[in-house]
């Protein structure tokens, strides 16, 4: 397939929430306690809410910056590319990168919205709903057909979470972000019937549960003094554990239409994982009590779970072992793993290396995302105007050059231990 003819939908991008996002969206009684951005004496722009202070970590907003400026130091809005937090600029960046549409995970509330879980549940729900309304109506609604809307959950209460799924579904949102391990957030685990109201609501509304790596707030830490490279390498392991939890749980047996996406977990590990599932079942189910009827655990995985990758040559090479209908592409803008603005070219190189046919490319780049998320961008924009080439032509001249935004506010030692990183984790 010619790069210019590709149609790309990213199922895992991120946004940095703009400072004014709550204006006019909360009852007046909460005006003084609403989340807000303040600038610290050090020059960092941080979100504050209910006594918590959440910085924008540098690695989460480095699109367009030289790699030597990557780091975990807190950052400020004027040190980010505007497309991180300005939706109009984001759409320009998407078009310049050849991307038709994307789904954006939250930043400061955490991937599962755990920052909003406060003792004052009325405040928690008001802030949560204000966030979801802003995301659906303003961020996504300002550019129809360019975003798959995503809601964050009322993680503190299964019934409230189910009600929010139904509320946002009425607004056209059929995607919910969630934690990879509720037990890590002091909530009942995936194995507990406590969450059944949520599973029921997801099924009835046709909503996908998106489990993003790091959403439990726990990192794969081997030792407090291990280098950062260990954690970065092991990031998919939390997603692997979530997949095992769900496949062996009662959830898919009792809610056979539930769909789950493993976000930013990669795909290369999945063939081994599926083989391990099936061997475990074959060797042990008679004494563990597992029963999938005529199915194998790998069949259950493929029926229920969507996977995605940024740059994963091994996954593409083994796409048939994973399931071609279970793979989506992602860009991860503006995070440090993102391949923006040359993602189409990067994908094309790997696709040619493994002779991926056009039909498989179409499924991976956009058709699977459209089907799983009930998203039809072509109802807004004709397909011929949605290709990499057509989108880039629309914004010809938009500057995508690498630009330094270093202001010298932080001393860059280049060294941080896993223990220090775990202490800063906010997702």
- The per-residue pLDDT for 72 is 77
SS3 assignment, position 239: helix
- The per-residue pLDDT for 417 is 53
Task: Produce one character per residue of 224-250: b if its CB has 16 or more CB atoms within 10 Å, e if not.
Answer: eebebeebeebbbebbbebbbbbbbee
- The per-residue pLDDT for 232 is 79
Alpha carbon distances (Å) from 377 to 93, 122, 139, 144, 387: 18, 36, 16, 8, 12
DSSP per residue, 153-196: --TT-HHHHHHHHHHHHTTT--EEEE-S-GGGGTS--TTSGGGH
pTM of the model: 0.94
pLDDT in tens, the chain (427 residues): 899 999 999 999 999 999 999 999 999 999 899 999 999 999 999 999 999 999 888 778 899 998 888 887 888 999 999 999 999 999 999 999 999 999 999 999 999 999 999 999 999 999 999 999 999 999 999 999 999 999 999 999 999 999 999 999 999 999 999 999 999 999 999 999 999 999 999 999 999 999 998 887 776 778 888 887 887 788 777 789 999 999 999 999 999 999 999 999 999 999 999 999 999 999 999 999 999 999 999 999 999 999 999 989 999 999 999 999 999 999 999 998 898 999 999 999 999 999 999 999 999 999 999 999 999 999 999 999 999 999 999 999 999 999 988 887 777 655 555 455 445 544 4
Q: What CA–CA distance (Å, rounded) separates 57 from 45?
A: 10
Phi and psi torsions of 9, nearest 5°: -120, 120
- Tell me the two tokens of residue 394: 């629309």
Enter the DSSP assignment of 68.
Answer: G
| Dihedral Cα 27, 30, 31, 33, nearest 10 deg | -160
Instruction: Show the DSSP H helices in 213-357 as ranges.
Output: 228-234, 236-248, 251-254, 270-288, 297-304, 313-317, 319-322, 343-353
Give 365's contacts (C-beta < 8 A, 6+ positions apart).
6, 7, 8, 9, 329, 347
Q: What CA–CA distance (Å, rounded) separates 183 from 214?
A: 14
Residue with tokens 């493994």: 354
Closest listed residue to residue 331, CA positions, set 71, 96, 30: 96
Q: What CA–CA distance (Å, rounded) separates 150 from 393?
A: 28
- The per-residue pLDDT for 409 is 76
SS3 assignment, position 274: helix
């Amino acid at each position: 397939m010619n790069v210019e003819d590709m149609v790309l939908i990213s199922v895992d991008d991120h946004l940095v929430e703009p400072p004014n996002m709550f204006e006019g969206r909360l009852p007046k009684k909460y005006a003084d306690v609403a989340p807000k951005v303040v600038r610290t004496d050090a020059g960092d722009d941080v979100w504050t809410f209910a006594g918590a202070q959440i910085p924008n970590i540098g690695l989460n907003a480095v699109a367009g910056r030289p790699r030597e400026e990557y780091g975990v130091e807190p950052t400020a809005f004027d040190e980010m590319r505007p497309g991180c937090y300005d939706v109009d600029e984001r759409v320009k960046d998407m078009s310049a990168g050849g991307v038709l549409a994307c789904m954006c995970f939250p930043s400061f509330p955490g991937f599962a919205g755990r920052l909003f879980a406060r003792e004052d549940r009325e405040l928690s729900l008001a802030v949560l709903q204000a966030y979801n309304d802003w995301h659906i109506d303003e961020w996504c609604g300002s550019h129809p057909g360019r975003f798959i809307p995503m809601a964050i959950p009322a993680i503190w209460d299964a019934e409230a979470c189910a009600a929010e799924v139904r509320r946002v579904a009425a607004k056209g949102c059929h995607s919910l972000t969630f934690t990879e391990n509720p037990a890590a957030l002091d909530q009942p685990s995936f194995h507990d019937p406590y969450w059944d109201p949520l599973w029921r609501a997801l099924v009835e509304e046709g909503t996908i549960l998106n489990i993003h790596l790091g959403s439990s707030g726990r990192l794969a830490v081997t030792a407090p003094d291990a280098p950062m490279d260990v954690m970065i390498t092991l990031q998919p392991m939390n997603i692997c554990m979530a997949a095992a939890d769900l496949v062996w749980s009662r959830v898919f047996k009792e809610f056979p239409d539930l769909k789950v996406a493993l976000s930013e977990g990669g795909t290369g590990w999945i063939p081994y994982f599926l083989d391990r599932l099936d061997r475990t079942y074959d060797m042990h189910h008679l004494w563990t009590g597992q029963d999938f009827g005529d199915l194998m655990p790998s069949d259950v995985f493929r029926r229920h779970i969507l996977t995605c990758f940024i740059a994963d040559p091994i996954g593409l090479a083994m796409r048939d072992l994973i399931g071609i209908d279970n793979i989506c592409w992602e860009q991860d803008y503006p995070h440090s793993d993102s391949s923006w603005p040359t993602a189409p070219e990067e994908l094309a190189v790997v696709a040619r290396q493994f002779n991926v046919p056009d039909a498989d490319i179409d499924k991976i780049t956009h058709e699977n995302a459209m089907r799983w998320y009930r998203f039809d961008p072509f109802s807004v924009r004709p397909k011929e105007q949605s290709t990499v080439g057509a989108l880039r032509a629309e914004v010809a001249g938009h500057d995508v050059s690498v630009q330094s935004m270093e202001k010298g506010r932080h001393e860059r030692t280049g060294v941080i231990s896993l223990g220090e990183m775990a202490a800063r984790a906010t997702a």
